[in-house]
Structure 1
Amino acid sequence: MAVRSTAAPPTPWSRNLAEAQIHQTAFVHPFSNLIGDVHIGANVIVAPGTTIRADEGTPFYIGENTNIQDGVVIHGLEQGRVVGDDQNKYSVWVGKNTCITHMALIHGPAYVGDNSFIGFRSTVFNARVGAGCIVMMHALIQDVEIPAGKYIPSGAIITNQQQADRLPDVQDQDKDFAHHVVGINQALRAGYLCAADSKCIAPIRDENTKSYKGNGVTVLELERSSEVASNSLGAETIEQVRYLLEQGYKIGTEHVDQRRFRTGSWTSCQPIEPRSIGEAIAALESCVSDHSGEYVRLFGIDKDRRRVLESIIQRPDGDFKPASNFKAPASSHSNGSYSSNGNSNGSSSGKVNGETVEQIRQLLAGGYKIGMEHVDERRFRTGSWTSCKPIEATSINQVISGLEECIESHQGEYVRLIGIDTKAKRRVLETIIQRPNGQVASSGSKKSFTSSGTSGTATATATSNHLSTEVVDQLRQLLAGGYKISLEHVDERRFRTGSWTSTGQIQASSEREAIAAVEGHLGEYQGEYVRLIGIDPKAKRRVLETIIQRPNGQVATSSSQKSFTSNAPSATATATATATSTRLSTEVVDQLRQLLAGGSKISLEHVDQRRFRTGSWTSTGQIQASSEREAIAAVEGHLGEYQGEYVRLIGIDPKAKRRVLETIIQRP
């Protein structure tokens, strides 16, 4: 095809005004920039937005069947050349059957061998990439020679030869992926050439016109029929696409091969921006076809750029059924097993127990939004919850119907109910309502969540059957003092190394909400240690650390009352100037007092009996305390955590950066 290229401008190093040599079977898009002495081989495709400038370093060579994708830049320095496969010197040599993907930069002197793949936004400068190499995304290759058949992972920076020599070999699935991309682009090249040829495109247009007019079938009817006539997409997937479009969501897709599926390394497909459901289905079928033999998943994107309704629609074995049965909400009121009256009090069913129904009723009465999340057993420990379909309902019956639908769709998984304060943009309730064994979960005691609305029977003091009175008092004091509250959990194996994981801050404006949130987390992390954290937001330090649950299921209490007090004023305060402790000896208390008075930093170290002989102590971190009372509380908390171990008190002079005190305060 006739392609417009530009001659190289006259420069001090070149005045020959060389132009590109383009094979007649190659396709160079009119929106690409082709300047100077560039050799384009047979069946090459140069996509729009590509810049190939042989106006400084020259010449360039691009071998047959190679594709240069959108946004690629190829340029070269005036000095420096590489020897091509034809034994001539070039500023840039790109071999045959090679793929240079979106936004990649090839800057000469550079050599890219046959059957190679250069990933998105990767850079090759003053380097040789051997034949059959696969360079993944965002990699830098500079001043090295990559041996043939090597795999360069995403984000790699290869700038010395030792790194290049240690690279792993390409796997068969990586080769298949590169060949697949080249094949797709060859089909695109043929399509572009056909579109530019009136003889080739005319029969296709005539055929489409006949099919649109035949038997009086309209375009709209064709779109509707395509929804159910699709051979590669199931009816459930089409229903999900329709629902996403009706709700105004954008549609996205991702794919991953079997090797990377276990690590969750999904790659985004081309964005789908349809004007109709027919276009969306066509784009989805194209994505599924392009990534046959891989996992493909569909998801919706809301206005806040959050994902909704994420589901796998293709698996490597060719199964196109989604991972869960999707049912779009009916437009009419459901009569089901509940009354259609929106003011009905609702009743419990086989899937939703009475306790959950009561929580839903309280959330709706308080004007809160209701959401749901699910997670499988493997991801439960990492807290990687996935949102279910949003519930936009004000009737308790509609909410229960949506809740049962989520539970049914995610059998064998954890499902939790979420209460959301839309004004404050925070969660007021999180409680698990289903576990993998199929049992609808119950905390064992009634949740103490109540809405913020007024109630004639509400009392000033919240109680809990699951938390000890000591923990409830600590929560009350933290809230009264304006402190932030959070929890941390750890399993038995990581407990000894102190590798705690935060559950995030608890957003609670009342004592009842705080108790409900803490009980919910204790239910989630049964069989683990859970500790309560109080944080002073102004000083950005912890004022309380205490374990409230242990792996045996017992809600832990310390042997002595924690000496935590809030800064809130109290008419009945009886605090004295001198703090006391029933767990620490008077000698240790005096040492803490002296360290604080001297401006020294305080920390603790612990060690078990086996490592005690080798002196392998482990630090618990610095104790952030501004008063003697806070220091005693923190030390007592750590002694409770490390029962059965040696614990020693450390005093550090921050100016001299040396220890001023080391003394063992607990023995096994």
Structure 2
Amino acid sequence: MVVRSFAAPPTPWSKSLAEPDIHHTAYVHSFSNIIGDVRVGENVMIAPGTSIRADEGHPFYIGDDTNIQDGVVMHGLEQGRVAGDDGDSYSIWVGSRSSLTHMALIHGPAYVGDDCFIGFRSTVFNARVGNGSIIMMHALVQDVEIPPGKYVPSGAIITNQQQADRLPNVLEADVKFASHIIHINDALRSGYRCADNIACIAPIRNEMANPKMNQPTSNVSSRSANGSGNGGVIEHVRQLLAQGYRIGTEHADERRFKISSWKSCATIQSNRESEVLAALDSCMQEHSGDYVRLIGIDTKAKKRVLETIIQRPGAAPTKLSNGSSSSYSAPSYASSSGNGNGHAAASGSIEGSVVAQIRQVLSKGGRIGIEFADERRFQTSSWKSASVQANNESGILAEVQACMTDHAGEYVRIIGIDPKAKQRVLESIVQRPSSKQHISNPTVRPTSNGGAAPSHSAVRTDGSVAEQVRQLLSQGAAIGLEFADERRFKINSWSSAPLIHTRSEGEAIAALESFIADHSSHYVRLVGVDTTAKKRVLETVIHRPGKTPETSLVLDPPVYAPPASTSSSSARSASGSQKLSSEALDQVRQLVRQGARIGLEYADVRRYKGGAWQTGASIQANSESQAITALESALSDYAGQYVRLIGTDLKAKRRIIEMVIQKAGK
């Protein structure tokens, strides 16, 4: 390894000509630049394209087991220092087990503690980042001290201490993610060092130069011809060859399989069945401890027509045969009665209700898909798709079963797709981490030719929500849902779910209830969208974590009536919303009649005294009752703070009212 490190140049402020001090266990790529008094600890990984210049501000310190990824820039001002953990002064201090990811900028004076994560293109300047803090992508942290264990969301600009003090704490999932990055880069460091060491790399090269495929092919052919066979794989091969498709294979170990990062085996050029089966046998034998999948390729359309796994780790070795006696038998599935408790049978079979859902979608010409997600991706509704090649019931059920087995410990759901309308008609979770074979109540959307309404879940929406849904549907608006955990709710960073495609009130309510059941630990809000004007007409929180939803569906809620007195107006409603005073109600009515925009601003006691209000929710409503309901719901979100009502004349583009409607502590 040739490390590009240079002494600091002589300057008016320093003529020390200091050189980098790099520990012998660290790996520094030859395409990186390290200049001046830079002290690199044990097991550090410095990737290509980094620039670490201690030619102005110095010294720099990089702690043990830290990784500096591609494109990172570290530089410091001549003035300004931070105190390192050893008590000395540094222009930049980076602690142990921290990750500075692609294109991050650390400009001294700056301190980054132990176990920190600095995301892509984020900047830390004249700041201290406490131990265990996580800064996500495209963020700016300047002139502040981030307390230990805090989370800075993507795109955040943190430039005053008040912002830093209000940051949410990191979650366990964030800590696991940061730890995973450390382990990955330590493995890369070891690999790069091995590649530069002839004693380490020579045995690996020798092993690659003598693969098992160099054994006489007659042995493989004989084993294939006399083996027990796998009729399903052989049938796939025959169909692909008959249609003129090319056949390939890919393999992946456990880690690569989880992230769907497959490697290709040797290319199969032959179009003869026996030779193709021999090549498949060779690939499976060479990668006996890995997943292996068969690929069908349409060379004219330049696309894949088949992806199917033919070998899994730990399974008995598969021997291919081109004999006609082999046949494929799909696994059996539970009857519609199941085991009587709404879960799949203990043997891992799929419940009959899921089979019925798949059968119903297929009978109407629909297609079936499969998606899976770990806990982190499930919370952000970021599902990954699994390949489904079968188009008949037994084949699809076999692939669902295989996906549930491959992703044990994760969420798995089946998707029904209407290919004509190009929309989903079914989303049903068939496996959860805590109960691997649990079948949830599905979210069913009507197809273009109609469909059965789903059964209601245990979670019910109250009358006010039902009334809002009814109004949205009568106006032709689209209905959507958004959700957020405690941390994202505080910074108003919501995740969106797919729109509910239905004009039936009952089906819309059922979809809401199913969604709330799946996200019971999140905030959930209902969104109404005017598809013609392409704007939102309603945003209202319909579920909060820790609060039990109503257990009965009320389709005809009582008519809204203003409070009889000022004292009663401060009471909470049954749904937990803060009642407005009669004066505030009159102002809201006037604003709605004038067509003015209604908004909210809020402030804690300190900001209230300084007149530093923060912008809150924007109320999108077409009637007085909608505006009042949305305002009262929003007030409960800002409990304990000052809240003021803002009325804006859209034509004149100016405010026409500012009125405090809630005071802190009241």
Query: What TM-score comes out, normalization by structure 1 length?
Result: 0.53
For 1:430, give the aligned amino acid.
Answer: E
For 1:166, the equivalent position in structure 2 comes to: 93
For 1:153, the equivalent position in structure 2 comes to: 68
Cα distance in 2 for partners of 1:488, 1:642 equals 19
CA shift in 2, pair 1:620/1:175, >3 Å:
same
Choose the corresponding residue for 1:520, options 508, 514, 517: 514
Task: Give the SS at the match of 1:588.
Answer: helix
For 2:588, give the aligned amino acid.
Answer: L
Choose the corresponding residue for 2:47, options 125, 128, 136: 136
Structure 1 residue 452 and structure 2 residue 448: aligned?
yes
Contact conserved, 1:363 with 1:369, CA < 8 A, in 2? yes
Contact conserved, 1:533 with 1:545, CA < 8 A, in 2? yes
Contact conserved, 1:348 with 1:357, CA < 8 A, in 2? no
Cα distance in 1 for partners of 2:294, 2:636 equals 48
Task: Give the SS at the match of 1:506.
Answer: coil
For 1:552, give the aligned amino acid.
Answer: K
Task: Give the SS at the match of 2:549.
Answer: coil
For 1:420, the equivalent position in structure 2 comes to: 417
Task: Give the SS at the match of 1:438.
Answer: coil
For 1:433, the equivalent position in structure 2 comes to: 430
Q: CA deviation at 1:503?
A: 3.7
Contact conserved, 1:487 with 1:505, CA < 8 A, in 2? yes
Task: Give the SS at the match of 1:478.
Answer: helix
Task: Give the SS at the match of 1:160.
Answer: strand
Choose the corresponding residue for 1:622, options 615, 618, 635: 618
For 1:638, give the aligned amino acid.
Answer: A
For 1:212, give the aligned amino acid.
Answer: P
Q: CA deviation at 1:242?
A: 10
Cα distance in 1 for partners of 2:537, 2:73 equals 47
For 2:194, the equivalent position in structure 1 comes to: 180
Task: Give the SS at the match of 2:427.
Answer: strand
For 2:549, give the aligned amino acid.
Answer: Q
Structure 1 residue 532 and structure 2 residue 526: aligned?
yes
Cα distance in 1 for partners of 2:456, 2:295 equals 41
Cα distance in 2 for partners of 1:382, 1:306 equals 31
Report sequence identity in percent: 27
For 2:161, the equivalent position in structure 1 comes to: none
Q: CA deviation at 1:661?
A: 0.9
Q: CA deviation at 1:332?
A: 3.9
Q: CA deviation at 1:604?
A: 1.8
Contact conserved, 2:368 with 2:415, CA < 8 A, in 1? yes
Cα distance in 1 for partners of 2:639, 2:306 equals 45
For 2:588, the equivalent position in structure 1 comes to: 592
Structure 1 residue 553 and structure 2 residue 557: aligned?
no
CA shift in 2, pair 1:360/1:152, >3 Å:
closer
What per-residue deviation string (whole Å, max 9, x for no partner) do you get for residues 288-331 of structure 1? 9xxxxxxx998999998999899998xxxxxx659x999x9x97
Task: Give the SS at the match of 1:523.
Answer: helix
What per-residue deviation string (whole Å, max 9, x for no partner) do you get for residues 454-486 of structure 1? 57xx79x99988445654454354345443322
Q: How many residues align?
A: 489
CA shift in 2, pair 1:507/1:335, >3 Å:
same
Which deviates more from structure 2 when the two are superposed, residues 609-618 or residues 627-636? Answer: 609-618
For 1:349, give the aligned amino acid.
Answer: G
Task: Give the SS at the match of 1:531.
Answer: strand
Structure 1 residue 497 and structure 2 residue 490: aligned?
yes
CA shift in 2, pair 1:517/1:137, >3 Å:
farther
CA shift in 2, pair 1:357/1:552, >3 Å:
farther
For 1:508, the equivalent position in structure 2 comes to: 501
Stretches of structure 2 that go unaligned for 5 or more consecutive residues are: 9-19, 78-89, 98-181, 269-278, 297-301, 321-325, 345-349, 561-577
CA shift in 2, pair 1:225/1:535, >3 Å:
farther
Q: CA deviation at 1:355?
A: 3.8
CA shift in 2, pair 1:521/1:221, >3 Å:
farther
CA RMSD in angstroms, aligned pairs only: 6.4
Stretches of structure 1 that go unaligned for 5 or more consecutive residues are: 1-64, 68-73, 75-80, 85-109, 196-200, 229-234, 289-295, 314-319, 339-345, 564-581
CA shift in 2, pair 1:123/1:431, >3 Å:
same
Query: How is 1:197-346 mapped onto 2 (pairs within 5 angstroms)?
Result: 211-212=215-216, 217=218, 251=250, 253=252, 274-275=267-268, 276-277=279-280, 280=283, 321=314, 332=328, 334=330, 336=332
Cα distance in 2 for partners of 1:597, 1:301 equals 64
For 2:379, the equivalent position in structure 1 comes to: 381
For 2:634, the equivalent position in structure 1 comes to: 638
Which deviates more from structure 2 when the two are superposed, residues 349-358 or residues 464-473? Answer: 464-473
Cα distance in 2 for partners of 1:656, 1:335 equals 67
Which of structures 1 and 2 has the bigger CA Rg?
Answer: 1
Q: CA deviation at 1:513?
A: 5.6
Cα distance in 2 for partners of 1:635, 1:423 equals 41
Task: Give the SS at the match of 1:475.
Answer: helix
